[in-house]
Amino acid sequence: MKNYYITLNNKKTEILDQVEIIITNKKIVEIFISELPNCKKLNICDNKLKTFNAVLPNCEELDLRYNKLTIFNAELPNCEKLYLSHNKLTTFNTELPNCKKLDLSHNKLTSFNAQLLNCERLDLDNNKLTIFNAELPNCEELDLYNNKLTTFNYLLPKCKMLDLYNNKLTIFNAELPNCEKLDLSNNKLTTFNTLLPKCKMLDLYNNELTTINSELFNCKVLY
């Protein structure tokens, strides 16, 4: 197996291009990756990285949690799992055609615009989102709690769990034919008319509701 070099804190380091590479808790502030064609799983979490720029054509899982990232520019055509939580990102523009799980929670995002056709789970909680525009035809779990969204109007045909706790929602018009758990507590809704044929748990606590059409859902648990 061929060896490659990566630069860690301005120091050139030889590394074996293996399937899984772990460089965690090393206090790394800078990394330069020129080529890792065989790497499928790369873990660089719990460091001090501020920027990440790389081309990883065969990487299936990338973990960069608990860094200080403000810039993320990566080409990840085959990535299925991307973990970027607990950073300082304000924007995210990476194309992820094969991503199934994306975690961007605990950042500083103000807007999110993406087409994630294969994504099954998306975590965007604990950001500062005021704009959310995403195409998520296969998403089953979507976390958006602790943001600043005022409206939510989307079709999520396969979504089973949607969490919008503690936003600023005044308008909620979503199509959720398969949703089983919906949390809309701590918002500013005055009406609720969403059809939820499969809902098992609905939380509307601490809104400003005056009317609820209970014929639209048949929940086992209602708050």
133 and 199 co-located in one domain? yes
Burial of 114 (C-beta count, 10 Å sphere; 0-12/13-18/19+): buried
What is 8-20 written as a DSSP string?
ETTEEEEEE--SE
- 212 assigned to some structural domain: yes
pLDDT at residue 2, as a whole number: 56
66 and 115 co-located in one domain? no
Instruction: Evaluate whether 45 touches 26 at the Cβ level (below 8 Å).
Output: no
CA dist., res. 13 & res. 38, Å (int): 17
116 and 223 co-located in one domain? yes
Average pLDDT over residues 174-194: 94
Residue whose entry in the numeric block shows the structure tokens 């790389």 = 54
- 138 assigned to some structural domain: yes
* Number of compact structural domains in the chain: 2
**Angle formed at CA 163 by CA 205 and CA 181, multiple of 5 degrees:** 80
Return mean pLDDT, the chain.
90
- 98 assigned to some structural domain: no
Rounded to the nearest 10 degrees, how much is the dihedral formed by the CA atoms of 159, 165, 169, 175? 10
26 and 71 co-located in one domain? yes
Q: What is the CATH number of the domain that holds 146?
A: 3.80.10.10
156 and 209 co-located in one domain? yes
197 and 129 co-located in one domain? yes
- 186 assigned to some structural domain: yes
Burial of 111 (C-beta count, 10 Å sphere; 0-12/13-18/19+): middle
123 and 217 co-located in one domain? yes
Helix (H, G, I), strand (E, B) or coil at 215: helix
The amino acid at 189: L
Cβ atoms within 10 A of the Cβ of 218, count? 13
- 209 assigned to some structural domain: yes
215 and 113 co-located in one domain? yes
Average pLDDT over residues 30-49: 88
Instruction: Evaluate whether 12 touches 32 at the Cβ level (below 8 Å).
Output: no
CA dist., res. 141 & res. 180, Å (int): 10
- Residue 195: which of 223, 221, 174 has the closest Cα? 174
pLDDT digits (tens, 9 = 90+) for 53-96: 999 999 999 999 999 999 999 999 999 999 999 999 999 989 99
pLDDT at residue 59, as a whole number: 94
Beta strands 221-222 and 71-75 are: unpaired
User: Where residue 3 falls among pLDDT bands split at 50, 70, 90?
Assistant: low
119 and 223 co-located in one domain? yes
The amino acid at 63: D
118 and 213 co-located in one domain? yes
119 and 59 co-located in one domain? no
- 92 assigned to some structural domain: no
141 and 213 co-located in one domain? yes
The whole-model pTM stands at 0.92
Domain with 221, as residue range(s), is 109-223
- 164 assigned to some structural domain: yes
Q: Inform me whether the pLDDT recorded for 11 exceeds 90.
A: no
* Boundary (domain end) residue, out of 37, 61, 79: 79
